[in-house]
Amino acid sequence: MSQRRIKYREAIAEATVQSMDRDESIFVMGESADDPLGIFGTTRLAFEKFGEHRVFDVPLSENALTGWGTGAAISGMKPLMVHQRNDFLLLALDQVINHAAKWKYIHGRSVPWTIRAIIGKRWGQAAQHSQALQALFAHVPGLKVVLPASPYDAKGLLAASLFDDSPVICLEHRGLYETMGVVPEEYYEVPLGVAKLVRTGKDVTVVAISEMVSQAQIAAEKLSDMGVDAEIIDLRCVRPLDLDVLVTSVKKTGHLISCDVGWTQFGISAEVVCCVAERAHEFLKKAPVRIGLPDCPTPCSYALEEVYYPDNQDIVAAAAKLFSLAVKDKCDRSQQEKSGVADFVGPF
């Protein structure tokens, strides 16, 4: 297989075209899906090849069109719907949660339906355009939720999603679109629900999703210089969740740091800690650590964003605390809320 390198967004575009070549029932719908510059260029190749018959723009009516896509899936088509922000999916929760997710359970018919949605970050996008809502969707039986962290997985997971019998929500982080990686030219699929061992290590297990995977890799290099050997696991899919690889790693390392791109409370990081504690608590040498967003909406201020979003420094600080090592942290998370983030948006 070839070893050429392409961008994350190019991998998505390629997966779309190759999947549409394989199955004529796949079509793409979304706001600006027919615009060469729309949706970060991820639908341009498909529109150029298949035209407006199979790739088309839709009005700003998220709930109606998501319901229409669900109906198309129930009728035997394979719609690929693109929401330019995952926040906009909140306008279509009835169609997603009460219809698509439950249709097979109630009626016994598959719903091969994929939604791509984008997680925003920075650029002053603030509280209504930068949420990461994977925990909300993963809470619902009947849905599958994937978060590709690399160009290779962006192509393989989207292809697998398009040929899955269940409704799948594929959440793409805006900060990853320009990242480069090795992606085979050939069509391939990455199985849903199978985590990826990104880096082997013996001292601490760092579980991450989406953009936090790259931050974990940076942190691992810094920790290596401090004498800490970190093992990194990319969940890739948060529903279904690959628990076996998590438990196996924690049994080896005895320490767990769980990283999310969403809120820490009631989030994916909490679910990971809970599942590991239920299955391997006797192997944990210290209490697990969760890393994610503080308990408040996203601020608009660039200065506050720098404090609000977790990064590799937070992972390094968490690991250093586990092993009683001295490290200069950018800002203690408990102090962040006291020194501006939570105060800026008010009490919650």
Find how far residue 252's CA is from the centre of its chain: 26
The structure's pTM equals 0.91
Residues of the chain with CATH 3.40.50.970: 5-182
Q: Using the predicted structure, report yes or no on whether residue 83 has a pLDDT greater than 90.
A: no
The closest alpha carbon to 206, from 233, 243, 238, 241, belongs to 233
48 Cβ partners below 8 Å, 6+ apart?
none
Q: What pLDDT was estimated at residue 317?
A: 96
Question: In the CATH scheme, what architecture does the domain 196-345 have?
Answer: 3-Layer(aba) Sandwich (3.40)
**Catalytic (active site) residue 211:** no
**Catalytic (active site) residue 31:** no
Which of 129, 173, 231, 255 does the annotation list as catalytic? 129
Residues of the chain with CATH 3.40.50.920: 196-345
Q: Using the predicted structure, report yes or no on whether residue 347 has a pLDDT greater than 50.
A: no
Structure confidence by residue, pLDDT tens digits, 257-269:
999 999 999 999 9
Helix axes 212-225, 312-322, angle to 10 degrees: 50
Contacts 24+ apart (CB under 8 A), 303-309: 304/340, 304/341, 304/344, 305/122, 305/124, 307/331, 307/336, 307/339, 307/340, 307/341, 308/336, 308/341, 309/121, 309/122
Fold of the 5-182 domain: Rossmann fold (3.40.50)
Strand pairing partners for 180?
A: 7
Query: The tokens of 240 are what?
Result: 């279904």
Backbone angles phi, psi at 30, to 5 degrees: 175, 160
Proportion of the chain above pLDDT 90, given as a percent: 78
Q: Using the predicted structure, report yes or no on whether residue 342 has a pLDDT greater than 70.
A: no
Structure confidence by residue, pLDDT tens digits, 95-139:
999 999 999 999 999 999 999 999 987 776 788 888 999 999 999
Peptide bond into 112 cis (omega under 30): no
Which conformational region is residue 158 in: left (phi greater than 0), alpha (psi within -120 to 50 degrees), or beta? alpha
DSSP per residue over 235-255, as a string? -SEEES--HHHHHHHHHHHS-
Which of 10, 14, 62, 211 does the annotation list as catalytic? 62
Q: What pLDDT was estimated at residue 328?
A: 63
Backbone angles phi, psi at 71, to 5 degrees: -60, -40
Question: Cα–Cα distance between 42 and 33 in angstroms, integer?
Answer: 8
Strand pairing partners for 258?
A: 207, 290
Strand pairing partners for 239?
A: 145
303 Cβ partners below 8 Å, 6+ apart?
none
